[in-house]
A and B are shown apart, each in its own frame.
Chain A
């Protein structure tokens, strides 16, 4: 598995997400314009871009946290419609990790991880707890299982959030700036967890400013500006030989110092 992380395009040709001609408006503001994107199973995509470019909105459309007005999104063969049942099905297949963790502060770490498997997947409590402990061990914090989120550091909370998503056994993981709210000391522990996940072949879409992470694990980098996909390429090419002027400017600013 570790090999596939180093060989960028070595993914299956099975389609995980297909976005066609997707458009979204906030009121009269055109946030996403003619987005076309195909994500193959096992692919690890990093989405970069200046703030306000619509990259968060794009991945939030994939699990219907935001509604799109035009075009279509197909996740795992299911076309996203406005039907609640359809949305809930897609959401239970797609895990999401947020910038501000969004753990449930009134539940323990273990309860955070077992809530959705028990009530959405209808898994018996004991089994759900075993699964949760398995993933908590994977993110290296099994000893915190009975504490509350407020007692953990930011990095630990974000790792719990990742474990919580994994407990639903999703086929696709979305990351919305997972390290932007963390102290520099804690960014690494979260990135390490994500790298490990990537090495196991999880399909990942990741909005992030961590270009080191993009170089290391992504097999495609997408650059967005003003609601459009401006450039996409393999990381090597993207960083060493950007084509679009806007991309060049962006890269010179974030890599320049």
Chain B
């Protein structure tokens, strides 16, 4: 069809054009390299320079890894074996492996307990993280915290069991009074829980040897285990607390709203490290005299409060992003506040908030190393203190800190990858 025709003759298309593959020069490795690496002289120079630098780094680091010594018992011995060659003394990791993982006072014969707790943790979080995992595992997830407490701290199984019974009693009390009003239900649940735990406390006290493991006090916990405990507990507590704070901040009841606002703004305005010092020293003054609240528990309270304030703000952003129509649609169908939050608002708001929540969770996990400042021996505390200060390993910085970086990176990167996967799973609205 010539141009003259196109302008002078009315045109009606009777066949649609089929799709065609692109020409060969638009595909393949050569094209990719030309486009991305050698497009113009400037790009080519940059590419060559980058290759040179990568070569320098790899050629420098490779012998350090390759000549690494894995089986000596002190730095001096390791240097002797290296005999002037470049090489890493990874033997500090193998020799102090248990200390890095469990701290230096956790009883050797009990190492299997936290190890088992970690393995069970993987089972317990499976139904939470993967929607396809069997739903019945949720039951195990529910009892896992009590099981893990028993495994790590030891003592009689009756203690965590009593707490579990108390919570179940609280749940039923809540259900019973919920019909009257939500606030009544909460109050009844709280009272029932406290009463049952307090009254039931006599049972484990009377029978300290029933199903008992060797009791291990909190101050003996350490190493990466301590980071894992603080990270897992604080993340799983601060998420529900953060949700409640975010909803509270939106509440139309002024007292609840202002309590939440003051809490969030105060916590966000204070450095975590000062809160930890408060937990370590000052907090004891606020508890009744004679009560000795465990240091790990105090630290957990502080870190949880800290991160829940941040999570609350992240979720508030998600709530604000939802159109008002979603609230109205829920209302117009006759759903009550709890139902429309649970089925309509929160699923959507939380989905929007995933990147922010993960950001806080990863930050929280790394911040657990701050406890080393208040003389607790987590992974960083162990490296800084007992290991680097020992006569055998004084001066092995690269290997130890490199190990700490590696371990934290693996965990945080996995969390980040998981969250990206989850976002893709939940992307139902614009498929």
Contact = CB atoms under 8 A, between A and B. Distances in A.
Contacts of A94: 332
Nearest to B339: A119
A168 B334 contact: yes
Nearest to A174: B332
B65 interface: no
Nearest to B328: A65
B172 to A, nearest CB: 20
A98 B325 contact: yes
A203 to B, nearest CB: 16
Contact of B329 (A89, A98, A106, A120): A98
Nearest to B332: A96
B132 interface: no
A151 interface: yes
B329 A105 contact: no
A116 interface: yes
A165 B328 CA distance: 13
Contact of B431 (A63, A65, A150, A164): A150
A151 B429 CA distance: 8
Interface in B416-431: 426, 428-431
Size band of the interface chain B makes with A:
20 to 34
Chain A, interface SS category? mixed
Interface residues of A, number: 29
A19 to B, nearest CB: 18
Contacts of A165: 332-333
Contacts of B328: 65, 98, 102
A100 B325 contact: yes
A92 interface: yes
Nearest to A99: B325
A115 B325 contact: no
Given A106-B347, A106-B348, A106-B351, A150 B429 contact: yes
Contacts of B351: 106
B236 interface: no
A150 B430 contact: yes
B343 A115 contact: yes
Contacts of A89: 334
A119 B343 contact: yes
Interface string A44-88: 000000000000000000011100000000000000000010001
A92 B431 CA distance: 32
A104 B335 contact: no
B334 A91 contact: yes
Given A102-B323, A106-B348, A119-B343, 19 more contacts: A63-B331, A63-B332, A84-B337, A88-B334, A91-B331, A91-B332, A92-B333, A98-B332, A102-B329, A103-B329, A104-B343, A105-B428, A115-B333, A115-B343, A116-B333, A116-B335, A119-B335, A148-B431, A168-B334
8 A-B pairs closest in CB distance: A92-B334, A102-B329, A105-B429, A116-B333, A102-B325, A96-B332, A91-B334, A150-B429
Interface of B: 323, 325-326, 328-329, 331-337, 339, 343-344, 347-348, 351, 426, 428-431
Interface of A: 63-65, 84, 88-89, 91-92, 94-96, 98, 100, 102-106, 115-116, 119-120, 148-151, 164-165, 168
21 contacts: A65-B332, A84-B336, A88-B334, A88-B335, A88-B336, A91-B331, A91-B334, A92-B333, A94-B332, A98-B325, A98-B329, A98-B332, A102-B326, A102-B328, A104-B326, A105-B429, A120-B334, A148-B429, A148-B431, A150-B430, A151-B431
